[in-house]
């Protein structure tokens, strides 16, 4: 028995609040270079089937700073690339470690892995979501404004992406209004939008979304795995660039977020991402603090479930 974190719904609203509180404490501890070793003797296995800079660095640094150890298993250099079944890799990895972070393609792959892995699994990005990034983005918004509840977030561009989906999942849980501005064919599917009734608004005009927003967000126009469609995507999304004119429509104290990597001159202009309203470097740093709190949350919850296991089995008869 264990607690996975495959999407934002895997934690309750109260657990999200506790996680942000813990992340703030851990951020302060890091600032003061106070040692926190809640993961001493523990191991994280990181499985990458797609490229990464921030996710790899922040998870490994998080584990090391908590007194534990991280192993980076690049799928391309493992037996996975030679056809070993995912379930077998999951069974073996789960016996070596206390927690797994996986970055992969289809959501069915991470679900399959989690099903066969006895250690808790954290989603480090799939085609259908990037929940650790969205947790971090919401934490960053709270850091700037005190709360994310009641704020208006405008996501401009390819909102059908993993980022768009996870922001949609978060809207009701964290009680924010989400305006998704995309051309035809680039909005999330209806079943995704239905996850947050009354909180998500689909528009085609980026100016309508940006008007009076507290936060302006964008992401790359071609996500990992979509490279073959890149030319068409650039043409379709050309009118959805975040530039100074769009930022001006938002509230005066609005911030700009981008999970990175960014393409200056495509989805965002350089003067915005490098300008005074940009919070992207805090956003990137906060991956470290939020993920530390998340690792603690799933490992400690899984420990408790394991301890309670025999009693629960007995109670069920």
Q: Which residues are at the interface with ligand CP (CB under 6 A)?
A: 52-55, 125, 133, 259-261
How far is 214 from 255, CA to CA, in rounded Å? 7
Contacts (CB under 6 A) with ligand NVA, residues 256-275: 259
Q: Which residue has the tokens 């994280």?
A: 44
Contact call for residue 156 and ligand NVA (CB under 6 A)? no
Q: In this chain, which of 19, 62, 163, 200 binds ligand NVA, going by CB under 6 A? A: 163
From 60-68, 69-77, 158-166, 265-273, span contacting ligand NVA (CB under 6 A): 158-166
| Residue whose entry in the numeric block shows the structure tokens 């996710």 | 55
Distance CA 306, CA 33 (A): 33
C-alpha distances (whole Å) from 261 to each of 71, 248, 280, 282 are 23, 24, 10, 14
> Looking at 103, 187, 199, 233, which residue is catalytic?
103
Distance (Å, whole) CA 293 – CA 18:
9
Q: 218, 223, 241, 291: which one contacts ligand NVA (CB under 6 A)?
A: 223
DSSP state, 189? P
State yes or no: is 287 an active-site residue.
Answer: yes
Q: Which of residues 19-38 bind ligand NVA (CB under 6 A)?
A: none
Residue 107 bears catalytic tag: no
Nearer to ligand NVA, 3 or 130 (CB): 130
User: Cβ contacts of residue 249 below 8 Å, gap of 6+?
Assistant: 207, 210, 211, 212, 213
162 binds, among ligand CP, ligand NVA, none (CB under 5 to 8 A by kind): ligand NVA
Q: Is 110 in the site for ligand NVA (CB under 6 A)?
A: no
CA distance linking residue 93 with residue 98, whole number of Å: 9
Catalytic residues: 103, 130, 133, 219, 259, 287
Binding site for ligand NVA (CB under 6 A): 125, 130, 161-163, 219-220, 223-224, 259
């Amino acid at each position: 028995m264990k607690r996975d974190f495959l999407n934002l719904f895997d934690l309750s609203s109260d657990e999200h609040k506790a996680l942000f509180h813990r992340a703030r404490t851990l951020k302060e501890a890091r600032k003061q270079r106070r040692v926190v070793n809640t993961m001493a003797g523990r191991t994280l296995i990181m499985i990458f089937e797609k490229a990464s800079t921030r996710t790899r660095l922040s998870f490994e640094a998080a584990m090391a700073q908590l007194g534990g150890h991280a192993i980076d298993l690049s799928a391309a250099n493992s037996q996975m690339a030679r056809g070993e079944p995912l379930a077998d890799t999951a069974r073996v990895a789960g016996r070596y470690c206390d927690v797994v972070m996986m970055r992969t393609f289809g959501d069915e792959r991470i679900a399959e892995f989690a099903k066969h892995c006895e250690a808790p699994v954290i989603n480090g990005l799939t085609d259908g979501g990037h929940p650790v990034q969205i947790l971090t983005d919401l934490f960053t918004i709270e850091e700037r404004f005190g709360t994310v509840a009641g704020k208006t977030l405008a996501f401009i561009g390819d909102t059908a992406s993993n980022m768009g989906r996870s922001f949609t999942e978060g809207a009701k849980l964290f009680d924010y209004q989400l305006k998704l501005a995309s051309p035809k064919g680039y909005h999330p599917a209806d079943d995704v939008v239905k996850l947050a009734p009354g909180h998500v608004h689909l528009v085609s005009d980026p100016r309508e979304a940006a008007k009076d927003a507290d936060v302006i967000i964008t992401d790359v126009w071609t996500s990992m795995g979509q490279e073959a469609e890149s030319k068409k995507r650039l043409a379709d999304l050309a009118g959805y660039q975040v530039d100074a004119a769009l930022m001006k429509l938002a509230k005066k104290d609005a911030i700009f977020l981008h999970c990175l990597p960014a393409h200056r001159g495509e989805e965002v202009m350089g003067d915005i991402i490098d300008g005074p309203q940009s919070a992207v470097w805090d956003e990137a740093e906060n991956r470290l603090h939020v993920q530390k709190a998340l690792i603690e949350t799933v490992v400690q919850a899984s420990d408790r479930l394991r301890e309670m296991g025999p009693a629960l089995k007995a109670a069920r008869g």
